[in-house]
A and B are shown apart, each in its own frame.
Chain A
Amino acid sequence: MIHKKVIHHFIPHQKEDGLHHRAKALNLSYLASYLLILVLFGAGLYLIKLKAPQILGQVMFSADQIIALTNAKRAQSGLGVLSSNGQLAQAASAKAQDMYAADYWAHNSPSGKTPWNFITTAGYRYLYAGENLARDFSDASSVVDAWMASPSHRSNMLDTNFKEIGVAVASGDLEGREVILVVQMFGTPVSQIPTQQPLVQASPVPSPQPSPAQVAQVKEKPPSAPSPSPKVSPSPTPVSVAVELPSLETAQNTQSTVLASRQFSLVKGVSFGLVGFVFLLFALEIIYTLRKNHLRLRSGVLAHLAILAFILLAIWYAVAGAVL
């Protein structure tokens, strides 16, 4: 008798009254309690995130990992690796801090600063430059996978014109939420060979103004730079110039590391588990009803199964974060 009571919780049955009864676990009161569990879980998670986020567990997430993964993707495509450049890293860091300070999520700041402003301010004179942005990811491989899945960002990642890379990973408060920003700057310097000659004063290279639609995949190059050397040709081939560039550091980005919460994977797991359980109960109802001729399928069961399948797929494919 006890086992029957347990089984009746999960499969439809016909009682002595001759009426068809759904699985008890699909009664309205049970459905309401599943909803309550989700709401309480969400509220509890929010409180833990506020008071003691370390309970959720954290994953280290660094700029070096982004660079290594980017180079791995390039190697898979038969391309050369990008060298880590300290000035590009500095530009990326400055861009991340500017986004937090001015509270925006865009390639161009509200005050009109472009990615090229940050690059040139860091002292990097570029022949080509590009920028990828990402936010809210919980690990480096998800960021790189997201960029590779987007044609414009993939184009930057696998561009043969780029020779160097700088990445910044920074956590902060953006648009009222605690986020992790990833700024990836690509570049090819005007000259790749630093010389020992004294620095020659040259007027600053005017910043190019890319159209907004091209920002994510810009392969910008400056117009002819006024210098005492032969004029810089607009061709992709770098031309050596008789000026000393600021030393092109190749320092590692080991300082740019954040701890990302495991919150997303926890939420995904719990949501998938609970919805999956309800989905299985409805599926069991359909299977059992089809097998037992004396039972009939309740109205709406197919629709419930379909919407639950939809949200299960959505949760399965859910990725924390966005790219720009």
Chain B
Amino acid sequence: MPGFSRLALDVEQLKMKHLDILAHIFLILGLGVGVVAVYRLRFDSTDQFLVILVITFFYLLWGTTYHHIKGEIEKKLFVEYLLIAMIVVICAFLVFVI
């Protein structure tokens, strides 16, 4: 039943598209909360650094979960997320802690 398979494929693709949109909205919302928190704490550098740490951890968790659901999680991708997270954390450490 090629028509049914095609329909099932379309439904699956639609689900993935919805997942993409929802997941990215969730990510943007989380980062938005982080931006507000960092701005409001702009005269307390230690707390700002803690917020950035939490947001970076959220980013890593989001990436791992999102790509796992999509079935495309692999070592290279995870390392990419990790390297960018570490760049963010080191920058934050240099600016807000040292």
Contacts and interface: CB of A to CB of B under 8 A. Distances in A.
Q: Which of B42, B92, B95 has its CB near the most chain A CB atoms (within 10 A)?
A: B95
Interface string B80-91: 110111111011
A149 B24 contact: no
B67 interface: yes
A323 interface: yes
A306 B39 contact: no
B43 A323 contact: yes
A320 B42 CA distance: 9
Given A267-B94, A306-B27, A314 B52 contact: yes
Contact of B87 (A34, A302, A303, A322): A34
A311 B92 contact: yes
Interface string B42-86: 111110100010011001001100110010100011011101111
Interface residues of B, number: 43
A302 B87 CA distance: 17
A299 B93 contact: no
Nearest to B31: A310
Interface in A281-324: 299-300, 302-304, 306-311, 313-315, 317-323
Contacts of B96: 318
Given A299-B72, A303-B27, A318-B48, A271 B84 contact: no
B87 A28 contact: no
Main secondary structure of the interface of A (DSSP, over half): helix
A193 interface: no
A174 interface: no
A46 interface: yes
Interface string B20-52: 000010011001001100110011111010001
A146 interface: yes
Interface in A141-172: 146, 149-150
B85 A307 contact: yes
A31 B79 CA distance: 10
Contacts of A300: 63, 67, 77, 80-81
A268 interface: yes
A206 B78 CA distance: 65
B79 to A, nearest CB: 6
A274 interface: yes
B79 A267 contact: no
Q: Which of B24, B90, B94 has its CB near the most chain A CB atoms (within 10 A)?
A: B94
Nearest to B39: A317
A147 B92 CA distance: 23
A276 to B, nearest CB: 11
Contacts of A42: 90, 93-94, 98
A314 B79 CA distance: 24
A199 interface: no
A306 B45 contact: no
28 contacts: A31-B83, A31-B84, A32-B83, A34-B87, A35-B90, A38-B94, A41-B94, A149-B42, A278-B87, A299-B77, A303-B59, A303-B63, A304-B80, A304-B81, A304-B84, A306-B27, A306-B59, A307-B55, A307-B85, A310-B35, A310-B55, A311-B52, A313-B38, A314-B48, A319-B42, A319-B43, A322-B46, A323-B43
Interface of B: 24, 27-28, 31, 34-35, 38-39, 42-46, 48, 52, 55-56, 59, 62-63, 66-67, 70, 72, 76-77, 79-81, 83-88, 90-96, 98
